[in-house]
Structure 1
Amino acid sequence: MTAMNGGGTRRWGWGSGRAENLRADAQTAKDAAAAAFYELDTAQRDLRISIETISAVDSSPGARKAASDFAEFGARIDRVSHDYITVVDAHDLDRDDLDSGTAARARAELDRTRQDLERVKAELDRFGQSLGPLLTQAENQLARLAPAVERARQGLLAASGALDQVRATGLKADDLAARLAALSPDLTKLNEGAGQHGVQETVQRADRVVREAEAIRGEAERLPERAAEIDKRLSSLRTRAQALHTRAGQVEPVLSELRRRFSAACWQDLQQVPRQAERSVAQAEEKLREARTAREEQRWADATTLLSTVRALLNTTDEGVKAAGERLQRLNEVSFDHTKEVERTRFAIRDAQRLAMAGRSTPDPRHAAPLDSAVERVDRAVASLTGRHPDYWHLLTELDAVKETVQQAVEQIRQDRASGH
């Protein structure tokens, strides 16, 4: 079709209006694809930060799988991004000779690549949502990081200050200083940061430093009190050792009286008490001297251990010395009148028998048997008191054993009654 214009002619493109519309549609599709490309790129960068956060803190199988899955997403994103760039480069929508067919193809290809970008973006969003628990846990760990490291630094500073204060009083605290110095490598690693050593390991190291620093500070603050307590124990145990040395010297006269008045069975087991007491007191005094030296050298743990040894030695000696005196006293009482002790034992038996018969016409054989046996043991013990020097110690030990048996029977009866038997 031609048109006249001042004697000239020009060609009218019959489809130019439609081509321009298609150009505009293609441009719209290009803008939409660009927006989808930008959104996918932004989502990928945001999610990469989340993955790096998780990986820095968590080395569990779940965290490793998340990192692996994200890497696979990266490959897919690279492919659709490459396709998008290829399509954009292939179509110059601004050129003058863009025909309708080219514009339509450009729009179709741009729409397709936009859909691919949006589909991958949607899948990436769902993947990101699935990371919620892992990311929350990782962020909580990261939130602990800086405060934990700061607590560790403050704890070390407080421990160092406590050591300085206690040293100012004249106490050395060398062991505590060595423990504090041993934390120096940990402090170096804390200062190097989580980037080099990992967030989880750094948090755990900081918590460990805090615990040890607090322990050192606490022990340093208690050290003057500990020194005073050791001094007090040294004085007390020295006094006790001296008193026990005097008392141990009184055992031999007690044994002499026992030998003179009672049969050998009543005192044979006490023969070694004087020698054992003398040896134990001597050992205690030697350990006391060692403890004093340890105290002067401020070896607190050694001093404490030695004092515990002294106390154990004195306790053993005290029991032996006391046993001799109590033996003589009990034998004196029973030789003067053994019926009181026998009657007390018989009364305990009768009391147990009444309990066994309470609410019953006949006693339970399980309860009656030990009580009947107890009666017979008392009778035999009394009957054994023969000769010029009766074995009163045998009587006493038998009566003690009978009373213990009776007490056990009473407890058994009460347990059976409580359980409904």
Structure 2
Amino acid sequence: MTATPGTSGTQPYSSPSAGRCAAVRDVLTLVSLPVLAAAGLSAAFAGGGTRRWFGGRAESQRAEAQSAKDAAAAAFYELDTAQRDLRISIETITAVDDSPAARRAVSDFEALGRRIDEVSQRYIQAVDAHDLDRDDLEASAAARARTELGAAKDELVRVKGELDRFGSSLGPLLGTAETRLARLAPAVERARQSLLAASNALDAARESGLGADELAARLAALGPELTRLNQGAGQHGVAATLERAERVQREAGAIRAVAERLPEQAAEIDHRLVSLRTRAQALTTRAGQVEPVLSELRRRFAVACWQDLQQVPALAGENVRQAELKLAEAGAARDAQRWADATALLSTVRALLNATDEAVSAAGDRLRRLNAVQKDPQAEIERTRFAIRDAQRLAMTGRTTPDPRHARPLDDAVARLERAVGTLEGRHPDYWRFLTETDAVRQTVAQVVSRIREDRGGPGH
């Protein structure tokens, strides 16, 4: 509402025109009218008044026009107050929301503002056009004043209704904006507290003899962010400040968690270094025992039974050597407090030692199994036949004929077992091939059993 008497155009809301101020003052002076009227009557009876007193139609019209003027002034004041209050809501929304809906609300409010300026201008012109205090005010002039002021009031009331409806439509946007504003101060405070906690945790780690230089650099990088938080949302915007506060809190929390775990991590790495060194030494001893095992395999069994194990001693020695080199590097990384590097190197050492352990164990296991099957091959045969017969009984449970999907692979397993038994004939049987075949047959049978149970709805069948 910016129109002024005798002018055209608008001014910013924060600098209301002299005409509007005069109109608002008209409302405020309503309170003093009875007192002034009483004073006027007293003066008239005393003979000291300066205005002539007219009775009849003219004075009645004057009173009606004044009443219309007072009603219009009240409507103008209500519209002005409503617009002022609604502007605060719009500013609240725009402070935190840049969505299309928020931008549309601003545009609609500006359009309403132009409409308010128009009706306010007509109201002020109507007020300026009629001097209801003139001594010679005619009844017709008073009637025109009443009509024009009544029309101005009606326009002001209509626009006030539009403004009220628009204000009601802002409910969701305003609620969201107020919620975000309410989150702002706590979010900034949480970020500050998280930074403080991270700094304290870092100090504690350093007091225990840990450098934590990487964490210190990460914490220092958050310094400019704290400065921006302290500068406030007025400079950087509510949305950006909220996002920054949450990001700082997350990063500071991560730094704190790592700093608090540093002593435990250092102790864990120290323990792993000792444990893996001991294991490497033990594997060195075990690797030295592989050659005698291979010698016995070569002496007693066919080449196919041990040929794939020929490289085990060399592989074990190389793996242990590599593991010891990596252990030395891991120790240096731990001393330099490069925790990630130390952890990665220790994982490599463990993988090397696991591979070595498997290879060394394979030689001993091979000799043990070959000894057992050479002594009593029938035990391996019966073990495999039992697995096949058990699967065949399961396949026939509740049926007169087996399902071909189950019967065919079981029949193939029987045939495969018979072929494996045939390889035991001759002067130098390939016992390892025999064991490999029986293992494969049992695996096939186990798969058939699993399918049967799945088809029948569970393991109980």
Q: Distance in 2 between matches of 1:367 and 1:322?
A: 36
1:416 equivalent in structure 2: 455
Q: Does 1:399 align with 2:444?
A: no
Q: Is 2:221 the counterpart of 1:182?
A: yes
| 1:95 aligned residue | 134
Q: Which amino acid aligns with 1:138?
A: A
2:380 matches 1:318: no
What is the distance in 2 between the residues matched to 1:272 and 1:56? 74
* C-alpha contact 1:251 1:273 (8 A) present in aligned 2: yes
Unaligned stretches of 5+ in structure 1? 1-12
- What TM-score does the superposition give when structure 2 sets the normalisation length? 0.86
Q: How many residues align?
A: 408
SS in 2 for 1:418: coil
Which amino acid in structure 1 is aligned with residue 137 of structure 2? Answer: L
Is the counterpart of residue 130 in structure 1 residue 169 in structure 2?
yes
Q: Distance in 2 between matches of 1:254 and 1:130?
A: 88
In the TM superposition, 1:15-164 aligns within 5 A as: 16-164=55-203
Summarize deviations over 1:359-388 as a string: whole Å, max 9, x none.
Answer: 111111110111111111111001011333
- Structure 2: gaps spanning 5 or more residues: 1-51
CA contact (8 A) 1:148 1:207 kept: yes
Q: Once the 2 structures are TM-superposed, how far is the Cα of residue 185 of structure 1 from its aligned partner?
A: 2.2
Separation of aligned partners in 2, 1:378 and 1:140: 76
Paired with 1:41 and 1:382, the residues of 2 have a C-alpha distance of: 106
- Counterparts of 1:369 and 1:201, CA distance in 2: 69
Provide the residue aligned with 1:170 in structure 2.
209
Structure 1 SS opposite 2:456 = helix
Q: Which residue of 2 aligns with 1:291?
A: 330
**Deviation for aligned residue 1:63:** 0.9
User: What does residue 8 of structure 1 align with?
Assistant: none
> What is the identity, as a one-letter code, of the residue corresponding to 2:416?
R
What is the match of residue 334 of structure 1?
373
The equivalent of 1:370 in structure 2 is 409
Aligned-partner residue type, residue 351 of structure 2: A
- Alpha-carbon offset, residue 35 of structure 1: 1.1
Aligned-pair CA distance for 1:14: 12
Deviation digits for residues 268-304 of structure 1, max 9, x if unmatched?
1111111111111111110100000000000111111
Give the distance between the partners of 1:344 and 1:67, measured in 2 at CA. Answer: 85
Cα distance in 2 between the residues matched to 1:386 and 1:261: 16
Is the Cα–Cα contact under 8 Å of residues 367 and 409 in structure 1 kept in the other structure?
yes
Comparing 114-123 with 14-23, which one deviates more in the overlay? 14-23
Matched, 1:263 2:302: yes
Secondary structure of 2:356's counterpart equals: helix
Contact kept, 8 Å, 1:266 with 1:393, in 2: the verdict is yes
Aligned partners of 2:122 and 2:299: how far apart in 1? 118
Q: Does 1:307 align with 2:346?
A: yes
Q: Which amino acid aligns with 1:95?
A: R
Q: Show structure 1 runs of 4+ deviating over 4 A.
A: none
Q: How far off its partner does 1:188 sit?
A: 1.8
Distance 2:190 2:312 in 1: 59
In structure 1, how many angstroms separate the alpha carbons of the residues matched to 2:97 and 2:386?
Answer: 74
Which residue in the other structure is 2:261 paired with? Answer: 222
Instruction: Output the amino acid matched with 1:257.
Output: E
Aligned counterpart in structure 1 of residue 388 of structure 2, from 349, 358, 362: 349
**Offset of residue 196 of structure 1:** 2.2
Shift of 1:15: 7.3
Question: Residue 331 of structure 1 aligns to which amino acid in structure 2?
Answer: L
Aligned residues of 1:171 and 1:298 also touching (Cα < 8 A): yes
Look up the match of 2:320: 281
CA drift of 1:133 comes to 0.6
* Preserved CA contact (<8 Å) 1:18 1:100: yes
Alignment check: 8 A CA contact 1:261 1:389 kept: no
1:197-236 alignment, distance < 5 Å = 197-236=236-275
**What amino acid sits opposite 1:220 in the alignment?**
A
Q: Which residue of 2 is the match for residue 6 of structure 1?
A: none
AA aligned to 2:335 is E
CA contact (8 A) 1:173 1:220 kept: yes
Q: Deviations over 1:226-272 (max 9, x none)?
A: 11001001110110111111111111111111111111111111111
Q: Return the alpha-carbon distance in structure 2 between the equivalents of residues 388 and 97 of structure 1.
A: 147
Match among 406, 423, 433 for residue 384 of structure 1: 423
Q: Percent identity?
A: 72
Structure 1 CA distance, aligned partners of 2:301 and 2:427?
Answer: 9
Aligned to 1:243: 282
Deviations 1:317-346 (A, max 9, x none): 111111111011111111111110111010
User: Aligned partners of 2:157 and 2:311: how far apart in 1?
Assistant: 99
Contact map agreement 1:162 1:220 (CA 8 A) in 2: yes
